[in-house]
A and B are shown apart, each in its own frame.
Chain A
């Protein structure tokens, strides 16, 4: 069985316990304004361009039979309408400025990559984290990855938005040692506005999951002006309190995505938004703790 993977990150230290390898699956049903992995959204292969690595040699232009590549001011411009993803430009680029994001990989291939760091997992109580995109978008592939990984004694984590049919979550829950479950906003209209989807399935799934799984870490990206106000935090904490979910991580917003958007030739909707101050973060943390939650800043 094959799935689409956009990155495998070794020495991943903020996606669960210990030293981990994060496997990022490509494709996501959400369209969050602050997404710092925009290359993960589409379920197809894409070309990414690192202008800082480009030396303007023009090898890519002559390599493309479709005329999709041109250089303007020494920088590459890709005409996506003409591109047939034959990838000759990527192959002949001498500096690696053109990269393909999204590889078809088998379960065995992915796990062979993961196994390379087993000794570090064992030493640090780490393991493998399947993230995205939204890993639940590739349910069969994910299930196979999780079950084989678990059978081999690897600690498994799934980092999900929860936006998937409940059956799928139920199906993988038994193979998942840790859920990293993202919640953005409680108010559905705002959720819809900033992520492109309703949160009802997400919250519903979390309620159900909490009843059958005992290791859920809720993760909340704190976005200035979007969900860091008192009301949003209170609503979220009340919900978690009611559902008996204790562990929550507040992930401070950083403008990290900006760079990646330009690599993809896309625009970033939160351009110029400043990070939260320490004081603001501490206030959010204190609020979460006041609801009896086991809260922390960062993954």
Chain B
């Protein structure tokens, strides 16, 4: 704790504590305001204009919150940790609200008054009219069955498409300038020749309304700050409030001129985006170090800003992110993303638009801020290019070794290649990066929308049951043949391929309808202002207005399905040590009374994560099949379908709908996460895992996620950090996309001691050798736990 607080000044300590101590709760304000606006305007104006007027109504009337001591102002809710709802997308029932209030994890406190308002004002208007209702009513029975069975999830069923990130334009232009750009496009419209001129006009008109709305919102903060200043006794705070008031009259109407203004301007845009709709992955400033550097450099030279002041402003900025929990989720969406985190992910380092080393002084300052703040939000990553100096990754590794998992590390060169492969220009690719968990995108210019997780292992389970979901007994898939009739592995894999094709078709057909629903009924004219080329095209972000449009399906559980297939290939077809019949019967019984068989399948099979081609080749087959099935299909937004490989918390949900699997996993337990090996089955250390993982062609994805756990012992000194850096550099040479490290502390080791099954892959440095923690006797474990506790990182 002491370590956490070191470096922060009193103001930041207080703000941080307030943010951490505030209890997540529901804020009804937005729901009421949007209902009022829809009651007033719906049916009288075009849909984009309706959305814009509703946005304006919210920003003109919502509570202005300026917290004590803060320097960056603006909350999405009425106060920190107060989360609004979006009844136009998902109108919560009173039961939903009770569950939100009472659930043990990821709760939101709901008052009786909230429920009364929901019942009297919100539900009567939105019931049966939200996108969620519309969406489920538009889906086929097949789709609904698959959704219910856990074959895939659907991102847009209660949250809007977002997954996009700001570029540098908001630091160069104010909304006054954007309005000029919009006006110019309106004037160019040719109603005599352009058959879409009306749609464009309405969209552009909506953008103008939104631009005015955000400026109005800023000015209301200016007035609020002036009011507070008038009654403020403390002279120092009084002058800060006056400064805040001045800043809020300038940005985001005009382009920011100072470091402080730049942060405040971004923050208003951020609030605008996440107030307009509850976009997945909130919004994100992207390459923050590069955007801020010109302001930082200029002000430091002019003597109007010190490094310490810049850091304080950044830390205030950090707290603002942490004040905003992801809006309340319910049902399967909660299960696939069971977290308060809203996934704003700050990118640091990488390269400049001209391709040169992008690391600057602000990059290091941000690493310091991350280290000091130790907050869950915003998330952070370094974009590591071969052009970046080692000192940069070493500095990041010093933060990583503190063991709380930030920042993660991305391969900036691979990210550029991924984007180029998808047809982006070189400059747009270099200005891109990663958002959310690991998703690649061209910042400020691309809608890269994730549409749902896909349960690869469930498809295998259904294949082994001739199209039947054994959990429900329903025929969900095709009848691809009785598994007992497969004469070799290729026959089995062929059947899997056909099933996969069948289920992907269902998922994509659903996606294509959902994309149209959002394009038709939920445009986001405010977001469209800041994403190229929506203004130029007069087209909304949700209708394909962005320069690049990509739609993703996320593969989950590649480790589990690989090991399952490897087990069948090895034991049933190659060694013939068991028959398919014996295996299927054991799976059906959840290995009840078959522990010896389960252990043998688990421990005596070549498994993914050990640099063993037998298993890794199967991983590649699965990956290639998934890729071929999805990649390149066309979307309704004139974009392209692509894949990425990440799970958030969906590997737990997907595991819960699958029975026992051939590699020894028991029914209902989690699948492997990301592209990491099955938990505990990587037995030859991190280099072997990296070699296995890099046999996947990461460049053909829009992101992969590799988690590694390391003992703090391995990073105890400078040499350890250098070795970590070398490990990462080698992975990136092999085109690895992303890696993140868990550096474990004594508490975790103690947990490992109690639940060894879950910590099979944990490596500890013992003395002159390394060993798996589970291989050590209790005495030795105790000794290592004791040693670790005394580390003073």
Contact = CB atoms under 8 A, between A and B. Distances in A.
Contacts of B599: 55, 57, 94-95
Interface in B765-787: 765-770, 774-777, 779-780, 783
A14 B730 contact: no
Given A10-B687, A13-B720, A94-B604, A120 B727 contact: yes
B582 to A, nearest CB: 14
Given A258-B780, A275-B783, A95 B603 contact: yes
A144 interface: no
Contact of B687 (A15, A50, A120): A120
B202 interface: no
B610 to A, nearest CB: 10
B1 interface: no
A31 interface: no
Interface in A235-256: 251-256
Contacts of B774: 52-53
B8 interface: no
B733 interface: yes
Contacts, number: 111
B600 interface: yes
Contacts of A258: 777, 779-780
B596 to A, nearest CB: 5
Given A117-B687, A119-B734, A55 B726 contact: no
Contacts of A36: 766-769
A150 interface: no
B777 A52 contact: yes
B596 A57 contact: yes
Interface in A95-120: 95-96, 116-117, 119-120
Interface residues of A, number: 39
B446 to A, nearest CB: 32
Contacts of B598: 94
Given A50-B775, A124-B723, A255-B783, A13 B597 contact: no
B595 A96 contact: no
B253 to A, nearest CB: 50
B498 interface: no
A11 B770 contact: yes
Interface string B717-730: 00010110011011
B767 A124 contact: no
Contacts of A37: 768-769
Given A11-B770, A94-B596, A18 B726 contact: yes
Contacts of A299: 768
Given A19-B723, A36-B769, A52-B774, A11 B603 contact: no
A73 interface: no
Nearest to B600: A94
A57 B599 CA distance: 10
B779 A12 contact: no
Max chain B Cβ within 10 angstroms of own Cβ: one of A18, A19, A258, A299: A19
A114 to B, nearest CB: 11
Interface string B678-700: 00000011111011000000000
Interface string B71-89: 0000000000000000000
A123 interface: yes
B733 A13 contact: no
Contacts of B167: none
A262 B687 CA distance: 30
Which of B597, B598, B727 gathers the greatest number of chain A CB atoms within 10 Å? B727
Interface string B749-773: 0000000100000000111111000
B611 interface: yes
Contacts of B684: 10
Nearest to A17: B719
A254 B723 contact: no
Interface in A1-51: 9-15, 18-19, 36-37, 50
Interface in B597-637: 597-600, 603-604, 611
A273 to B, nearest CB: 12
A205 B495 CA distance: 66
B330 interface: no
A140 interface: no
Interface in B282-310: none
Nearest to B604: A94
Given A10-B684, A36-B769, A94 B723 contact: no
A177 interface: no
Contacts of B733: 119, 123
Contacts of A12: 769-770
Contacts of B667: none
Contact of B730 (A55, A123, A254): A123
Interface in B698-732: 714, 720, 722-723, 726-727, 729-730
Contact of B780 (A95, A116, A255): A255
A195 to B, nearest CB: 16
B297 to A, nearest CB: 33
A119 B611 CA distance: 13
A96 B720 CA distance: 31
A189 interface: no
Q: Would you list the 3 A-B pairs with minimal beta carbon distance, nearest first?
A: A124-B726, A94-B599, A94-B600
Interface of A: 9-15, 18-19, 36-37, 50, 52-53, 55, 57, 59, 94-96, 116-117, 119-120, 122-124, 126, 251-256, 258-259, 262, 275, 299
9 contacts: A12-B770, A19-B727, A50-B775, A52-B775, A95-B603, A116-B688, A256-B769, A258-B777, A262-B777
Given A52-B756, A116-B687, A254-B783, 14 more contacts: A10-B687, A10-B688, A13-B714, A18-B726, A50-B775, A52-B777, A117-B691, A120-B726, A122-B730, A123-B727, A124-B723, A255-B780, A258-B779, A262-B777
